[in-house]
Amino acid sequence: MTESKSGNKSLSLGLLVVGAAMMGFALVLDVVGIRVGYRGPLLIAGALAVLAGLYFYPTIEHHRGIINFIFLFPLLFTFTVTVIIPMALGIGYSFTDWNGVKVNNYVGLANYTSMFKDPAFIWSIVLTFLFVIVNMILVNVIGFLLALLCSSKIRGTDFYRASYFLPNLIGGIVLGYIWQFIFSNVLIKLTASAFGMRNSLLSNSKTAFIAIIIVYIWQYAGYIMLIYITGLSTVPKDVLEAASIDGADAKTTLFKIKIPMIASTITICTFLTLTSAFKQFDVNMALTNGTGSVKFLGKTLSNGTQMLALNIYNTAISKNNYALGQAKAVLFFIILAAVSIIQVRISNSKEVEM
Amino acid sequence: MKLRKGPATALIVVAILVAAYTLFPFFLVVINSMKKANDIVANPVSLAGASFAQLSQNIQNVVTNSNFNFWAAFGTSAIVTIISLILLALFGGMAAWVICRNKTKWSTVIYMTFIASMIIPFQVVMLALISTFRDVGNFIGIKMLQSIPGIVFAYLGFGGAMTVFILTGFIKGIPYELEEAAAIDGCSPEGTFFRIIFPLLKPVITTVTILNGMWIWNDYLLPSLMLGQNGPVKTLPVAVQAFVGSYVKRWDLILPAALLAILPMIILFIIAQKQIINGMVEGAIK
């Protein structure tokens, strides 16, 4: 390393100077407003040259620091541009009349107060909470029962495990359309011949909500099952043996030993179902797109199956009301953060008691 | 824990019924992709009218449909997913290693910011993300919206936190003596990372690649916003959504399109079932 030090130094300084000059020139072009096509590549090439110059800089004591910087840079940079800056801007925009392109006026809390006067939005909040609670219970119970099934001593558990998990591999949009086909073309035939029911589940707000829950459980229970299987496999064999020697039956073993011993797994699974049900969007969009009439707070609403994430999307993108959509999104974030913190607190205190 | 014969049979029956239920939609997609439109509507559950000739005819109709542009969408999805996964593994490993091996105030702040950001729902950043990307793109003269580099950039930003979180947990378990020994032998820090640490990360990189891969391949909202519903570049979920929108109730086109969209994932799952299942579980537990 030492013999090439002087060579490295001039190389390094050269790269630093040239890179800085390229970046500077590109930025000057941007600021002045000369929209030539090569200014983007020039900027990137300049930045790479500066990084290379830093890398070749001949120093022993600072080399580690330089490497740390270069190693952290790519992810920190993309993270800042895609998460931190939009997050800060988004919170700021929620207090303005932002239209997606520019801000004209600061409006204070007007967006926040106006969304609570909208029954359709309140309905979406209520519906989302209902969806989250129902799914948190059903997905966890079903997932746990399937896990017990797949860790019992029947043959072919590998096959069952794989087929229960399979729906989780498919994206929400595609499976939403597959289920739309099932509800409107297949199920209707079966119910028509069996009970004379000729309407699809999707044609009525209440049954359409049940349909979304069915699809969500179909998609998600297999995944939760996998985590419970892993949790159950950590219950020590000798504890189970001791229990059976002491004459504990299957039910006692389940409730007194297995469930208490996988308390941390239950925490993980409830947390996962909670956040994922809360953010449900794809299936909601593909299956009903939020439509369906419902009577709520004395008004007839047309968004009978629209949950929060879809409501935010439609407010901003379809109705072109960016500032209001952004304010709803901020509220969505606050609710999600609060609910998850409360949930983790409760589960943690339960775990300690056990 | 011995099972008597009765309950065991009952369990098997339940297991088979549940499997039939979870697999039934896939079965319907396959058999109805093999039929003509009127056979689908008349007998959605039976095999009547299904043939392989019709399957290839339907698939041909979908693939050659100029509104769908299947291969272009498939190619875009594949490129976006593969490049994002490679870069996430590489940059994620680099960042996690630095965070793990430097116990300074800064590395803690960065790590905590990454972890805290995982609770941020996409909805709260998505609107400002589009305007930021548009402005940055205009400013530097590289298209960030409706472009593959732009969307890869966004996936690096959104996937970085979880990737670093999982990788840091693993790197903590690698003995530091390995790196000290390499340093004494005259190995540079970057050499230590690429020659010693990175190869050791293979199992955990498999995990994050599976988690990120399933997310990126199936993701709809981010590409639909960044690429636009009718833009020149589309990923597969965006193309399916646009296609279904323009052929409402044309199940003889929609179902084969759905089949083509889910097939790569299913093939991958059959090949790498064990790794995918382990990856999904490990990702959740950490």
Greatest mean pLDDT among A298-302, B131-135, B243-247, B270-274? B131-135
What mean pLDDT comes out for the span A186-203?
Answer: 78
Same domain, A322 and A199: yes
Same domain, A308 and A274: yes
Nearest to A256 by CA among A270, A269, A239: A239
For residues B241-259, one letter each, b for 16 or more C-beta atoms within 10 angstroms of the residue's C-beta and e for the rest, the string is bbbbeebeeebbbbbbbbb
The interface pTM score, or ipTM, of the predicted complex is: 0.90
CB atoms within 10 A of CB B106: 12
Same domain, A94 and A126: no
Same domain, A65 and A200: no
B164 and chain A in contact, CB less than 8 A? yes
Nearest to A139 by CA among A3, A296, A275: A275
* Domains of chain A: total: 2
- Model confidence at B156, pLDDT cuts 50, 70, 90, reads very high
User: Across chain A, what does the average pLDDT equal?
Assistant: 87
* β partners of residue A300: A295
Same domain, A219 and A335: yes
Phi-psi sector, A327: left (phi>0), alpha (psi -120 to 50), beta = alpha
Q: What is the C-alpha to C-alpha distance for residues B135 and B129, in angstroms, rounded to an integer?
A: 10
Tokens found for residue A33? 């407003």
pLDDT in tens, A2-51: 444 556 788 888 888 888 888 888 888 777 777 777 788 888 888 888 88
Q: Is the pLDDT of residue B221 over 90?
A: yes
Chain A hits for B81, Cβ within 8 Å: none
Same domain, A102 and A142: no
Which carries the bigger pLDDT value, residue A337 or residue A203?
Answer: A337
Q: Which of B22, B27, B80, B118 has the highest number of chain A CBs within 10 A, making it the mutation to test binding with A?
A: B22
* β partners of residue A303: A292
For B52, list phi and psi in degrees, rounded to 5.
-70, -30
Instruction: Give B13-21 contacts, CB < 8 A, sequence gap 24+.
Output: B14/A149, B15/A149, B15/A150, B15/A154, B15/A156, B15/A157, B15/A160, B18/A146, B18/A149, B18/A160, B18/A164, B19/A159, B19/A160, B19/A163, B19/A164, B21/A218
Same domain, A193 and A47: no
Domain boundary among the residues A107, A128, A151 is at: A107
In single-letter form, the type of residue at position A203 comes to S
Same domain, A296 and A281: yes
B191 and chain A in contact, CB less than 8 A? no
* β partners of residue A111: none
Q: Is A75 helix (H, G, I), strand (E, B) or coil?
A: helix
**Interchain CB distance below 8 Å, A171 and B218:** yes
pLDDT in tens, A46-91: 888 888 888 888 777 788 888 889 999 999 999 999 999 999 999 9
Domain boundary among the residues A74, A107, A140 is at: A107
Chain A hits for B112, Cβ within 8 Å: none
How does DSSP assign B13-73, residue by residue?
Answer: HHHHHHHHHHHHHHHHHHHHHTS-HHHHHH-SSS-TT--HHHHHHHHHHHHT-TTT-HHHH
**Interchain CB distance below 8 Å, B98 and A317:** no
Domain boundary among the residues A55, A75, A107 is at: A107
Contact pairs from chain A to chain B, CB under 8 Å: 272
Domain range for A71 = 5-107
Distance from CA of B111 to the nearest CA of A (A): 10
- Closest chain A residue to B40, measured at CA: A185
B41-to-B32, B250, B251, B252 alpha-carbon distances in Å: 9, 10, 8, 9
C-alpha A20, offset from chain centre: 39
Same domain, A92 and A149: no
Same domain, A75 and A162: no
Same domain, A209 and A228: yes
Same domain, A118 and A23: no
For residues B114-127, one letter each, b for 16 or more C-beta atoms within 10 angstroms of the residue's C-beta and e for the rest, the string is beebeebbbbbbbb
Q: Domains of chain B by range and CATH? A: 5-63 (no CATH), 72-285 (1.10.3720.10)
- CATH number of the domain at A248, please: 1.10.3720.10
- Closest chain B residue to A69, measured at CA: B98
How does DSSP assign B83-133, residue by residue?
Answer: HHHHHHHHHHHHHHHHHHH--SHHHHHHHHHHHHHTT--HHHHHHHHHHHH
pLDDT in tens, B61-119: 988 888 888 899 999 999 999 999 999 999 999 999 999 988 888 889 999 999 989 88
**Interchain CB distance below 8 Å, A329 and B127:** yes
Residue-level pLDDT at A37: 72
B122 and chain A in contact, CB less than 8 A? yes
Residue-level pLDDT at A227: 93
**Interchain CB distance below 8 Å, A39 and B141:** yes
